[in-house]
Amino acid sequence: MVGAGRIGRLSPLIPATIAAAWVVAIVAQATGTGRVLHHDALIEGGLPLWAALVLFAAAWQAMIAAMMLPSSLPLVRLFATVAAANDAGRAGRAVAALLLGYGLVWTAFGMVAFLGDLVLHHLVDTTPWLAQHSWLIAGGTLTLAGAFQFSKLKDACLSKCRLPGMFLLQHYRRGIAAAFSLGRRHGLFCVGCCWALMLLMFAAGFANLWWMAALTALMVYEKAGAHGKRLVPFAGALLLLWGTLTIAHPLWLPAPLGGTSY
């Protein structure tokens, strides 16, 4: 039961993890390592599938920490307070379990996206017309992300993420297993509202700092900003316009998305 009591403090390891993930991204871009870990390079690099999946999964963890964890800090902070008041002896382990459940959901999404991209590469390789018009894939991704901004699923999932207090009131239970389950549940809502935007990041590649910063700011503000609800359709309209222009003429294609080797 949620109760009032001792205020739980957010472990300094959490903001440190976010900061470290951004440092990794900056170093990866500065040194060119990010290109090596891009899903295109892993797929086309001749590595066994299991090795490519392992390398991608490692890079994807940094992406989760840098981009998705900041948007969930309100829930994590509130959960730490509630756990300290209701289950003080295991509060730290409960927060860790919450983050593990959350991270596993996003990791599963990343693996599905990677395997889906593998299928897409095979389709392009066996379809000469599509290989000659590869910008249609990037334009389609932009259009999909824009259209999803107007969907009922996006709105429903965002409503859960915007009200962490209500979410905890409905789903909080004491214990490590319950914390893991709550983190997994929150992760599903988070994926539900942000998956299409993260596909853009997936296409742009690991450690593309401009896309990381822009999409992180958008997702954080959609969830926690004072006018986040108003921003959602505005961002959707912009992405739809950009995707339509890209499909009509590839000169409108953003450089990071155009760099893919579909």
The DSSP secondary structure of 26-65, one letter per residue, reads HHHHHHTHHHHTSHHHHHHTT--HHHHHHHHHHHHHHHII
Establish if 52 belongs to a structural domain: yes
Establish if 56 belongs to a structural domain: yes
Establish if 7 belongs to a structural domain: no
d(CA 148, CA 65): 24
Stated as kind and residue range, the H or E segment containing 109 is: helix 91-125
Distance in angstroms between the alpha carbons of the first and the last residue of the chain: 51
pLDDT in tens, 129-162: 888 888 888 889 999 999 999 999 999 999 999 9
Between the alpha carbon of residue 212 and those of residues 29, 65, 153, 161, 219, the distances in Å are 12, 11, 23, 20, 11
pLDDT band with cut points at 50, 70 and 90 for residue 122:
confident
Q: Give me the percent of the chain exceeding a pLDDT of 70.
A: 89
Q: What is the mean pLDDT of residues 86-103?
A: 92
**7 DSSP 8-state letter:** P
Task: Say if residue 152 is exposed, middle or buried (CB neighbours under 10 Å; 0-12, 13-18, 19+).
Answer: exposed
Residue 220's pLDDT is what?
95
Greatest extent of the chain over all pairs of C-alpha atoms, in Å? 65
Establish if 5 belongs to a structural domain: no
Establish if 2 belongs to a structural domain: no
Which residue would you say has higher pLDDT here, 203 or 100?
100
Residue partners of 34: CB distance under 8 A and separation at least 6 = 25, 28, 205, 206, 207, 208
Q: What is the mean pLDDT of residues 174-186?
A: 96
Establish if 57 belongs to a structural domain: yes
pLDDT in tens, 7-40: 456 788 999 999 999 998 888 888 877 777 677 7
Q: Residue 215: which domain range?
A: 13-258
Between the alpha carbon of residue 94 and those of residues 18, 170, 179, 180, 189, the distances in Å are 19, 17, 5, 8, 20
Which residue would you say has higher pLDDT here, 66 or 206?
66
Q: What is the mean pLDDT of residues 181-202?
A: 94
Establish if 4 belongs to a structural domain: no
Residue 5's pLDDT is what?
41
pLDDT in tens, 34-71: 777 677 777 777 788 888 888 889 889 999 999 999 99
Residue 205's pLDDT is what?
60
Establish if 3 belongs to a structural domain: no
Residue 233's pLDDT is what?
97
Residue 2's pLDDT is what?
47
Task: Say if residue 213 is exposed, middle or buried (CB neighbours under 10 Å; 0-12, 13-18, 19+).
Answer: middle
| Arithmetic mean of pLDDT over the chain | 87
Residue partners of 81: CB distance under 8 A and separation at least 6 = 7, 8
Q: In this model, does residue 176 exceed pLDDT 90?
A: yes
Indicate the number of domains in the chain: 1
Residue 258's pLDDT is what?
57
Q: Give me the percent of the chain exceeding a pLDDT of 90.
A: 56
